[in-house]
Amino acid sequence: MHLATLPPEHRAFVERLLDVGARKYHDKHPFHQRMNAGALSREGLQLWALNRYYYQQTIPIKDAAILSNMPDPSVRRRWIQRIVDHDGTTDRDGGLEAWLRLVEAVGARREDAISNRHVLPGVRFAVDAYLTFARTRPWTEAVASSLTELFAPTLHAVRLSAFPEHYPWVQTEGLQYFRNRLTQARNDVQHGLSVVLEHFVTAEQQDRAVAVLEFKCDLLWAQLDAIERAAPA
């Protein structure tokens, strides 16, 4: 996305959304900084992968909740692709399966991820709060919360570089989730941003969209706070 190509009435709004990522996206969290610098132990990576799966498994449920509140079939037809991307079309593809392969690649067991037995209370609270938000708030606000995908491809690209360098013991096929999301996240952003630009027009509405995006960033940050506190030194 290039700001210069946007109409002037949209440019300032998008700049505000991007500023949220510059200030608050969880790529700046100390845990991610340590991860990308190669400072995590094997056990720390496993704890992160297992706990992050609780968020991953909630994403398609969240998107289904948003979908159920969408009145426009043309919007629903595009939104449903997010569910397909994560759930896949069989048990052997899709984002959830790719994350389980990452769990295995860092030496943990997929059964432990699926069982949620290692999910920390802080992670569970933050993820459940996001699902409740998606189910109960206006669908346009839920779409606005998805715009953290504006910032995700950069983090995925960093991981794709950092993991082979710092954690060579991690099986490379386990990184396929990040490769997939480089494209999928950009496609999601293209649609989500078009919806937000259409429905958040007034100054008050745009303030609300920015606040929602900040809320989503806070939830992502809270998950890492919980993981960082529990991770082995």
pLDDT in tens, 53-90: 999 999 999 999 999 999 999 999 999 999 999 999 98
Share of the chain above pLDDT 70, in %: 98
Domains of the chain, start order: 9-230 (1.20.910.10)
Assess whether pLDDT exceeds 90 at residue 40. Answer: yes
Determine which helix (DSSP H) or strand (DSSP E) holds 32, and give its type and residue range. Answer: helix 30-36
The rounded radius of gyration (Å) of the Cα atoms in the chain is: 17
Question: What burial letters (b/e) apply to 176-214, b meaning 16+ CB within 10 Å?
Answer: bbbebbeebbeebbebbbebbbeebeeeebbebbbebbe
In this predicted structure, what is the pLDDT of residue 1? 53
DSSP H or E stretch at residue 114: helix 110-115
What band does 218 get if pLDDT is binned at 50, 70 and 90? very high
Report, as an integer, the average pLDDT of 207-226: 98
pLDDT for the residue numbered 3: 60
> 3-class SS at 121?
helix
What's the mean pLDDT in 194-207? 97
pLDDT at 2: 60
> How far is the C-alpha of 151 from the C-alpha of 148, rounded, in Å?
6
Q: Exposed, middle or buried, 125 (CB in 10 Å: 0-12/13-18/19+)?
A: middle
For the cut 80, the answer to whether the pLDDT of residue 153 exceeds it is yes
Contact by Cβ (8 Å): 83, 63: yes
Question: Are 146 and 78 in contact, with CB atoms under 8 Å apart?
Answer: no
Cα 110 to chain centroid distance, Å, stands at: 20
The residue-averaged pLDDT of 204-208 equals 98
Q: What band does 9 get if pLDDT is binned at 50, 70 and 90?
A: confident
